[in-house]
Structure 1
Amino acid sequence: MDPRIEPYVRASGLYYLTEMGYTRSDHRLLQALTERWRPETNTFHLRHGEMTITLQDVAILTGLPIDGKPVTGITDHDDWASVL
């Protein structure tokens, strides 16, 4: 990671993601889930019923905090290299 942006990533609370490392993906499982996704309802349609992923699920899986101020906003930067 570029040392110039590290303080910003740490301040955002997302630095943990940089230390997660590589995770192996089960491509067959991802393909099966993709085929069962219904964008109309934002759910997976499985044999036992509908299932969705919540913000709490993501927090548990990644260890990211879900409380506090949101990491969002509007920017008018045209050249992101100038921000670094």
Structure 2
Amino acid sequence: YGAAVGPRTTVFVLGDARTNMSDPNLPAVRELARSARRVYWLNPEPRTQWGTGDSAAPEYAELVEMHECRTARQLGALIGGLLPV
């Protein structure tokens, strides 16, 4: 759906940023970040686990804004920080 992303688009990525030992495809994330107005990655893993094992979270976080988001409280704080738009 890359053609659907443009300068007025905000993208939310929901996931743990684990690659399952595959290529993290950083060029695709870089292109997404370049095309979209904003990209927020909501990662359910504790920040202390980012970069462990097959986690590409530190690499992705260099390209897009990544937030630990494991609880309703964290999600509420994140949304509260984004509003008003």
Q: TM-score, normalised by structure 1?
A: 0.22
Choose 1 or 2 for highest CA Rg: 1
| Structure with greater contact order relative to length (CA < 8 Å, sep ≥ 6) | 2
